Amino acid sequence: MRKFILLLLIVSVSAGLAQERENIQKKLQQAAKIKVWVTNMGMIGSFWGFVAENRCEYPAGSNIDFLDSFHFVYGGVVNNDTCVSNGGGGFGADPWHELWPDSALYDSLWEYKMGEEVDPLIQEHYAPVICGTGGVIIGESYQPLSEMDFLAHYSDRDTFPYMHVHRAMGIDIWQLNYAWGYPDIDDIIFFECYIKNTCSNTIENFYIGYQCNLQTGDLDNVTGSIWEKRDKISLDDHCWYNEQRRVAVLADAPGGEDGTAESVIGWTILNAPDIDNKVITFKAARDWDYGVDEEEERPDEYAYKVMTVGEIDPPDETQSKVGDVQWALAFGPYTLEPDSMIIVACAMVGGEHEIDLYENVEYAHYYYNERHLKFSPPPPPPEVTIIPDNHKITLSWDDSPEYFEDTLRVDDILMDFEGYRVYKSRNKDGPFTLIADFDKIDWYGRNTGLQHEYVDSGLVNCINYYYAVTSYDLPDTVQLTGPKECGILASLIEAMPGFAAGRSEKVAVVPNPYCGDIDYTEDGWEVPTYAPTAGWTERDRRVQFTNLPVHCTIRVYTLSGDLVQTIEHDNELEGWEDWNLISRANQAISSGIYIFSVENHNSGDIQLGKFVVIK
């Protein structure tokens, strides 16, 4: 019943919320093996009722998902009033999200990678809080740390008028995520939260918490719609907490229609003020029953009671609590004086199995607490240029990685670049195949010699291919580590082969006829724009005008001569343009015969043709 009420709330208010909250954003963090949706509203995973085939997939490309949604939750006492602010619904939220970005432009969900130039808004509004204040960012200005940094700011102050019983504490949170595709840490996404009391009242007995609603299993093993699949994989989940490593574990229980997913995901507390002496609570629920009496309390009071109960449910009990499972993890108490701040570091960690997870959790604690996320990195990826041609793609790249200096190596090799690797896939999520390896002629490796160009031929025209050109370094002869390679996903490039513009005089439309009963996604012709959030939509239909002149205008008409759509083309390398069968009136076109004209702006010639749409 509780889920049904939440779903009704989502359906009824999400459209209005989207209009009011223009700064709310979601992005896919996927530099590492974990692929997870992140928002700028204290929530991970499910986002405002969108269908998500994979909300937290591990390993990437496996179609094994782990959660419905994950929320940051904060609770405290202000003037003897109990307050809890939740990044999502279902755990003391009234009635839904209680952490929001402001309307200011800087409250977007920012994404950077090492070496990128940073927007001045970040230096103005984020740097004073996150730089040199006790986290891993040192100095006075922010410089991207990982292959995929996310930055967000949100607070609990700006709530909606219909939230009658929720009471804001007056906290602001600056959240930073870091992810690398390097060995040892490619199963980890690091999270830092800078939590500041920006109100005039002291927050007593302040607790920091996390609430997770599991949906764990292999989506390939179940049938039905995406909603039905998600329901099926949630029927046999379980969880537990490992006190020694401070990690809450999400896992698929053996058996069930979805089979048994061996991989697991954990959420571990890496660092917080005086964490070893704080009260930690871990409560596992089935069907949202945490075993804590609600006693007709308002949602904030119930959530705070769960967060502060000070009990850790035994692993043998929670592992046997199989079904539609949730867990809550919290620690405290703290006292937050006005204008004071707490920095908390956590990590989402994956493992091929439980023992592998614990090893990766140890890596997460070591690299954050001992190395402060500073380690000898591989050379950055090169800048790549794509040259499409008939049935082939040419990749060419610069030599900038060859001059990279690694000042954190233990041996005395400063410029440690060794070579390039070229990878290819038909899917942007992989798997990726190594198709070329070029290394320097020296004391290490195959000594093939460096190259800065690769031609991939024998391709199918007008189909997307995905490439990555990575750089790797020499092994460290003192630490006996390496070689290290920059991440494939951080270097990903999309390319489509086809005729260059102006090579042919005959313009054509493919497919012709376009048949609505054919699944064009099977061979990669149509790629859902909003996958995995919404799947294929009407706007993902695709016909292509090929053999175009370099500079031209395409016009599509009905048989009666009404103008349907106009498309401009100005590209010397790509002799094609796609159209999604949406009219200039922003409507899907109907079945019928259509006329097209192509006006060559260089010669003045006009070509005419026709194509058929059958839906």
508-614 matches 2-370 in CATH topology: no
* pLDDT for position 54: 83
* Cα→Cα distances 154→13, 90, 109, 352, 545, Å: 20, 20, 10, 34, 45
Give the contacts of 425 (CB within 8 A, at least 6 positions apart).
431, 432, 433, 465, 466, 467
> What pLDDT is stored for residue 10 in this prediction?
41
Torsion angle defined by CA atoms of residues 7, 8, 12 and 16, in that order, rounded to the nearest 10 degrees: -30
Low-confidence residues of the chain: pLDDT under 70: 1-22, 47-53, 90-95, 158-165, 294-297, 530-535
Q: Is 614 exposed, middle or buried (0-12, 13-18, 19+ CB in 10 A)?
A: exposed
Look at phi and psi of residue 90 and say left if phi exceeds 0, alpha if psi is from -120 to 50, else beta. Answer: left
CB 198 within 8 A of CB 339: yes
Assigned CATH for 384-495? 2.60.40.10
Residue range 508-614 in CATH 2.60.40.4070: yes
How far out from the chain centre does Cα 69 lie? 13
Provide CB contacts within 8 A for 445, sequence distance 6+. Answer: 418, 419, 439
Q: Where are the domains of the chain?
A: 2-370, 384-495, 508-614
The sign of the CA dihedral 426, 428, 431, 436 is: positive
- Residue holding tokens 């489509």? 496
pLDDT at 576: 92
3-state secondary structure string, 139-196? CCCCCCCCCCEEEEEEECCCCCCCCCCCCCCCEEEEEEEEECCCCCCCCEEEEEEEEE
pLDDT tens string 551-572: 999 999 999 999 999 999 999 8
- Please report the pLDDT score of residue 161 as a whole number: 54
Amino acid 15: pLDDT: 41
pLDDT score for 505: 75
**Fold of the 2-370 domain:** Beta-galactosidase; Chain A, domain 5 (2.70.98)
Q: What pLDDT, on the 0 to 100 scale, is given for residue 226?
A: 81
How far apart CA 110 and CA 150 sit, in angstroms, is 6
Residue 310: exposed, middle, or buried by beta-carbon count in 10 A (0-12, 13-18, 19+)? exposed
Q: Which amino acid is at 114?
A: M
The pLDDT of residue 4: 34
